[in-house]
Structure 1
């Protein structure tokens, strides 16, 4: 059962729409919890009508989706929400077998300073107990302790119970499946196989990105892809996944953020040395660098940036990537002049006697010689004269003398086009 929490004052947001799509794709029933009803600008009816647009029909609108108006801070109607969940579970006959080996999913994982790797798991079937040998994703361990949502150690975790598991060898990924196995040998075998697969996948991805030296060089010449390497450390795996996904979306054909390493836990000396060898910047999300890492970063001249809001982090990386974009060449037409006569002057060379037919002609601007609508030459002016004086510009309708820098093949009837080039800084 998916519980869709929608704020009564904000109504349906992009992440709400995304959640609806996930629930529909999974084919699970939805219960809508309209939160923040204690606020003065709350409008639950607006939420209901907006949900109609995304094909979520609540009961009051003639649909089958249950909705409950709640307030998380005041505790209003939370009992009704629990009743609605139980009712829905009873109607659908949702039951799990508690008398078998435990299985479930990792909701979150983090590296705790005092307790080591801690995984928050949701038991979906069976009963999890201390002493069980657990395989979660690429990690395994013997369950040292189970801690419930109130921080109390418990003796068993039956189906539908979320618990913190202590005793794993490392932090699994959020979303990994976990299962209890018979012995340590089996657990090691499974995790080693999964780690080997993950390594092979990473190597294949890296090889696909890099290729041989010749491929890299040709790729740089053809695609001109510029990369911004980053080492990311976060408090929990979920945040890191969200940051990775957000940074992936920023990439274009020209620039992209390349995540050299991402992991949960404090910034260590090894992260700094990795950043130094790969030329990466270090980003800490809700974590700090330890004393040794700070000293190593200061010695290597590596900047460590700390963030607590993903939007700020993404904005800063976006600004850095925009700086890698090559500026755009923008051309502005200034004017045209027609050659009426060619004068051959000793020690000076050929000078074209012209009349400005359109716009104006400026000294210092770029010029093109056009013959029968074909560009013959592109360059700069050597001289721009009005009678015998050098001038900076000649307006339309007036006559002038022009000579090209290092080019003399001009003929009567040719058109000289004058243009200005600007380099415009681009942003993502």
Structure 2
């Protein structure tokens, strides 16, 4: 019997998902969500029920029509001037109302939900957004942010766009998928085609906004990936159909589960000849993500990011899951949110990418983060356009901060600059006290002394990065390389170019300077050459990790490993004049090599160890004999072997030590 999903049936019947869920519940049909599947005979029951209630439905429809006549329908792409025309007022009057409410929007600017609320309140109209099926998304009567004291949270809750985090393993196609969705080409601007920072962008799908966070997939960005899951509403897990689950894929699953967000799986690269999406589904099932078609509750969509296959279905699934979550926020309260990324720009100064979670952030607001503050001098959206307001679920870059905040810091609006300064001053004092209790920097003499005393030697490093997110990820990854035999010590870290003082500090601490996406100035380069300070510059983060790991492994003694070559069974013992005894053997496993180390095993117990001195095939000396062949053997200074003894040949391999 064929099946149909609830949301698909809702489309066919021109009903909302919520309405159809109520109808199914009244018919005693057990469905969990609008993503659930029902049999076609159940769908027929629903149609029959609606047909029987046709008279009541007509009454409801007429009521909706009469109600809609009191509303003004404003399309998503409408400008202030177009909205003014719908309201029957002049564009100048509409702009004046917006300016009075603190929204600096010209007549040709597009109206968002915040502006609609202001215009609805100013001219006493009910404004609505259209959606498919003839219904209205919501009616906006008034939503201006009050001046002075903020309204209590929850007083003016309105639907907000979902924040979607794209997660997964490196090179599984996360950014390429977003490229297709956003119609951009971010991957070509990233080193090695790998995303180095968290990016935030907004897309419109069927008149619905979706905010995407693109988190890097390499394991070095575990902390950044975890932070993305903390601010997200939906996690899209990208898994390559030709590669399957990888360690970073499992990390991403754990982060999303810990954050308690729904997971949608995009099985990418299905256009490749060696794609095996069913194998990926089985691997995901082993991790607790059972696909819907197998009786589970995890949505999985086969896609090709390069060709665009399945992308529309993926976006539809995101919209439906967001609808099920009933995401709402209050745009009228004081704004607060999360710092997603931050950097020090040469021309703009400190720049922070933030996502507003509650309230409406405006140009001119005083914002306070955990380590810095500032008055918002300008805001840019994900396309680089200047904006004056940012409502819930809106990602923007803000300029005007006093310093570079740490990614993951919360920010909020404060009323006065003095409050912000006093708070930051107190936090700085607390950090200074914490820094004073840290272990002092090690010198080369101290490292040498530690090695002489059998203590753990440490490799001193000085880190400079372009943005705080990379700095945090790099520091955490390098510190994880430490073992009980060797360790790393960060003598200093910071954002921005490598300066003269950085090189002098590295010289005093015998540290190596690691620069990620930054360069030293001329003075720093000259002093580094004079002082013998090594400066290593990188653009891809795992190159840094590989090099530091190699340096630490070079401090370890080589590891000796035994490699079994093969086994042979002694089936006969011959006496040879002037040579003593010769063992007639049959090689059962692997191979036997002349001059290899051997051990004689008798009844499961090692009886003797030594060297295989002579190896013959018939009368000829040979270097090796493979399994399935007979051979003759003699051993150095040992002839006490018997029939049925087992000869095991092995060699000792000297291996470079690896960090554990």
> What is the TM-score when the length of structure 1 is the normalising length?
0.71
Distance of aligned partners of 1:223 and 1:158 in 2 relative to their CA distance in 1, 3 Å threshold: farther
Q: Does the alignment pair 1:12 with 2:242?
A: no
Q: Does the alignment pair 1:249 with 2:480?
A: yes
Q: 1:302 aligns with which of 533, 540, 560?
A: 533
Distance of aligned partners of 1:305 and 1:216 in 2 relative to their CA distance in 1, 3 Å threshold: closer
Q: Does the alignment pair 1:183 with 2:446?
A: no
Q: 1:52 aligns with which of 275, 278, 285?
A: 285
Aligned match of 1:286: 517
Q: 1:266 aligns with which of 494, 497, 507?
A: 497
CA–CA distance in 1 between the matches of 2:417 and 2:313? 44
CA–CA distance in 2 between the matches of 1:74 and 1:50? 25
Q: Secondary structure at the match of 2:390?
A: coil
CA drift of 1:52 comes to: 0.4
Q: Is the 8 A contact 1:307 1:313 kept in 2?
A: yes
Q: 1:80 aligns with which of 289, 313, 317?
A: 313
Aligned match of 1:165: 398
Aligned match of 2:297: 64
CA–CA distance in 2 between the matches of 1:200 and 1:264? 22
Aligned match of 2:461: 230
CA–CA distance in 1 between the matches of 2:408 and 2:235? 16
CA drift of 1:118 comes to: 1.3
CA–CA distance in 1 between the matches of 2:316 and 2:425? 44
Distance of aligned partners of 1:315 and 1:111 in 2 relative to their CA distance in 1, 3 Å threshold: same
Distance of aligned partners of 1:94 and 1:329 in 2 relative to their CA distance in 1, 3 Å threshold: closer
Distance of aligned partners of 1:193 and 1:7 in 2 relative to their CA distance in 1, 3 Å threshold: farther
Q: Which has the higher strand share?
A: 1
Aligned match of 1:316: 547
Distance of aligned partners of 1:222 and 1:279 in 2 relative to their CA distance in 1, 3 Å threshold: closer
Aligned match of 2:125: none
Q: CA deviation digits over 1:294-313, x for unaligned, max 9?
A: 22222222111112223322
Aligned match of 1:104: 337
Q: Is the 8 A contact 1:138 1:192 kept in 2?
A: no
Q: Is the 8 A contact 2:303 2:311 kept in 1?
A: yes
Q: Which moved more, 1:266-275 or 1:75-84?
A: 75-84
CA–CA distance in 2 between the matches of 1:246 and 1:2? 24
Distance of aligned partners of 1:161 and 1:294 in 2 relative to their CA distance in 1, 3 Å threshold: same
Q: Is the 8 A contact 2:507 2:533 kept in 1?
A: yes
> What is the TM-score when the length of structure 2 is the normalising length?
0.47
1:20-419 alignment runs, 5 A limit = 20-206=253-439, 224-325=455-556
Aligned residues: 335
Distance of aligned partners of 1:28 and 1:305 in 2 relative to their CA distance in 1, 3 Å threshold: same
CA drift of 1:228 comes to: 0.9
CA–CA distance in 1 between the matches of 2:342 and 2:462? 19
CA drift of 1:220 comes to: 7.3
Q: Secondary structure at the match of 2:405?
A: coil
**Structure 1 gap ranges (5+):** 331-394, 398-422
Q: Which moved more, 1:94-103 or 1:73-82?
A: 73-82
Q: CA deviation digits over 1:71-108, x for unaligned, max 9?
A: 43444444433332222122122211111111111111
CA–CA distance in 1 between the matches of 2:508 and 2:287? 49
Q: Is the 8 A contact 1:223 1:253 kept in 2?
A: no
CA–CA distance in 1 between the matches of 2:458 and 2:363? 46
Q: Secondary structure at the match of 2:361?
A: coil
Q: Is the 8 A contact 1:118 1:171 kept in 2?
A: yes
Distance of aligned partners of 1:235 and 1:216 in 2 relative to their CA distance in 1, 3 Å threshold: closer
CA–CA distance in 1 between the matches of 2:272 and 2:352? 35
CA–CA distance in 1 between the matches of 2:311 and 2:367? 34
CA–CA distance in 1 between the matches of 2:313 and 2:519? 42
